[in-house]
Amino acid sequence: MKTFLLTLLVFIQLFSFAIADELLFVQAIWRHGDRTPAATYPTDPYINYSWPQGWGALTFKGMEQHLHLGKRLRDRYVAQLGFISSEYNSSEVYIRSTDVDRTLMSAMSNMVGMFPGSPGDFPDDQDWPVSGNKYGWVPVPIHTVNIIDDYVLIPDLPCNRQDELHELGKETPEYQQLSENMTDFLDLVRNETGLPLLDLGYLPAILDALAVEDEYGLSLPDWVVQNWTDSGKTVYDVMNETSNIVGYWSNGLKLEPMEGIDFSIEIPKLRGGPLLWTLIDNMQQKLYCVDNPTDVENCTLFGNLKYYAYSGHDVTIASLFSALGFKMTNWNEDGFPKYSSCVTVELWRTENKTNYVKFMYFPPDQDTADMTDSVSNCGKTCTLESLKNRSQIYNPLPDIQTLYSFADTEIDLDNNKTTGADDLQYSTIPTGTKSFHDYLPVNLTGVGVIIGFAIIGILIILWCFCLDREQNKEMHINHGKESKQLLISTISHPDDV
């Protein structure tokens, strides 16, 4: 019996390996690396400080962070899964950045870690720069668009509708109560910073300047490090806690609906909806090209594409998280995603052509984590169809440019859509037909599959032989002796990835 169970376990493992799900497409969204302060306040003692490369610039530390992130991504998608080619292949990889120096440079640094180069990848010239592995540096193109047109990666573009929602948010009981409780605190910060019109919304920017200055060893002003009343917390601590709350509100989280407006839907629709639906649309395009390999005209980009990466900002990722239904701005933590944090969106296909999505998180100071369970209303196995259905309420219809210009707009809460907007849907891309074998990884097709099933057949024969011997042996066993029983409720096998 033991032989049978062991053989059955081997059979299940081999069979599950032979029909392993196939990874079709990966999209990555990361935050740039460490930077200098992006803004400051009038009385900042370091307002004239000579930051390397100026304000809001990527630092050496930021470059290094993305070098390491590139290595982590290479480890998963090149070394572990064998999905992306070891050497840079322009038909497999497309990198897109916001048109900001620190995100462009972060993408470049990331690619050094992702594709460190190997002989034959670069000119045979002694003056060619060397990468970390002592081989030549491989230049990878980074694409971008005009900032004012980047609705996908920059959720803070001028938007009448978003401005209106944020103003309405200031009328909520939550905002009013916190403002009242923070009156004395805000008076202190106004006086010390020289910002007479300061309200709660200014605190995150002030905190950012202070945090960067502290990170680089600059002494913070006395008023920042002093205790606030008898709370036992410094002004800096209170500012940090309050900024986290403001961060939630700016993404539509932790605010009750008001005047028929559900902030948890309407704000994420504007901020994270464009990116979420771009990711979904990209996956649909990829599936179409997988199922229609001869349609070269419509699959110029996606035909062989395996990896599409976006280099953005903390608000880029936080806004996506809100549209995924996460309850916190950094997945399961307060605050915004840290420098060089990265989300990957993996598109998988099962043997029966069920397409599902995995959301992976690469925080800089933690192990890689699977966040798929946290996506609202999508289930542990988040199929692409389920993702589309649960994401309809965040679909920026009729298009994001039009929606951004809306103001004083009535909301249809029953359907969570903007009243008067055409009820347009993302077009369903036709699917072709392919056999299961067309979706097997290369190392499992053809001879590999035949050999696999041949081994399984041999194991079955051996099992039958062993079972026959065990049955003969049992005839000589003392029937009065109690036999031990093995109860197996479930047999698990390794995860598909």
Query: Directed axis angle between helix 384-391 and helix 273-291, to 10°?
Result: 150
Q: What is the pLDDT of residue 437?
A: 26
Compute CA distances 222 → 48, 192, 354, 422, whole Å. Answer: 19, 10, 60, 56
Q: What is the pLDDT of residue 447?
A: 37
More confident residue, 310 or 116: 310
Query: Range with the lowest mean pLDDT among 67-81, 280-294, 448-462, 475-489?
Result: 475-489
Q: CB–CB of 252/322 below 8 Å?
A: yes
Compute CA distances 105 → 65, 117, 305, whole Å. Answer: 12, 18, 23
Best CA proximity match to 363, nearest among 323, 332, 325: 332
Q: CA-to-CA distance for 213 and 206, rounded, in angstroms?
A: 11
Q: What is the pLDDT of residue 479?
A: 36
Burial degree of 267 (CB within 10 A; 0-12, 13-18, 19+): buried
Band of pLDDT at residue 5, cut at 50, 70 and 90: low
Query: Directed axis angle between helix 160-169 and helix 263-271, to 10°?
Result: 150
Best CA proximity match to 342, nearest among 292, 379, 307, 373: 307
Q: What is the pLDDT of residue 9?
A: 54
Segment 153-199, tens digit of pLDDT: 999 999 999 999 999 999 999 999 999 999 999 999 999 999 998 99
Q: CA-to-CA distance for 346 and 337, rounded, in angstroms?
A: 20
Residues above pLDDT 90, as percent of the chain: 70
Q: What is the pLDDT of residue 58?
A: 99
Enumerate residues 6+ apart whose C-beta is below 8 A from 321: 251, 272, 328, 329, 330, 331
pLDDT at 362 over 70: yes
Strand-pairing partners, residue 258, are 261
Q: What is the pLDDT of residue 409?
A: 42
Q: What is the pLDDT of residue 430?
A: 30
**Rg of the chain taking only CA atoms, in angstroms:** 28
Compute CA distances 98 → 32, 230, 316, 423, 454, whole Å. Answer: 10, 44, 10, 30, 52
Q: CA-to-CA distance for 310 and 357, rounded, in angstroms?
A: 18
Q: Is the peptide bond before 204 cis (omega within 30 degrees of 0)?
A: no
| Category of 114 on φ-ψ map: left (φ > 0), alpha (ψ -120 to 50) or beta | alpha
Segment 119-145, tens digit of pLDDT: 666 676 677 777 666 666 889 999 999
Segment 431-478, tens digit of pLDDT: 232 222 222 233 333 334 444 445 555 555 555 445 444 444 443 333
Best CA proximity match to 200, nearest among 232, 219, 220, 176: 176
Q: CA-to-CA distance for 263 and 341, rounded, in angstroms?
A: 26
Residue 338 identity (one-letter amino acid): K
Q: CA-to-CA distance for 382 and 358, rounded, in angstroms?
A: 7
**What is the average pLDDT across 56-85?**
98
Q: What is the pLDDT of residue 61?
A: 98
β pairing state of 93-97 and 22-31: unpaired
More confident residue, 12 or 169: 169
Q: What is the mean pLDDT of the chain?
A: 83
**What is the average pLDDT across 4-32?**
71
- Could you list the active site residues? 32, 314
More confident residue, 35 or 427: 35
Q: CB–CB of 405/160 below 8 Å?
A: yes
Band of pLDDT at residue 405, cut at 50, 70 and 90: confident
Best CA proximity match to 131, nearest among 70, 211, 194: 70
Segment 207-222, tens digit of pLDDT: 999 999 999 999 999 9
* CATH 3.40.50.1240 domain locations along the chain: 24-43+51-149+272-418
Q: CB–CB of 393/385 below 8 Å?
A: no
Distance from chain centroid for Cα 274: 14
Question: At 444, is the secondary structure helix, strand, or coil?
Answer: helix
**What is the average pLDDT across 319-325?**
99
Segment 333-344, tens digit of pLDDT: 999 999 999 999
Tokens of 409: 């707009």
CATH topology of domain 24-43+51-149+272-418: Rossmann fold (3.40.50)
Q: What is the pLDDT of residue 119?
A: 62
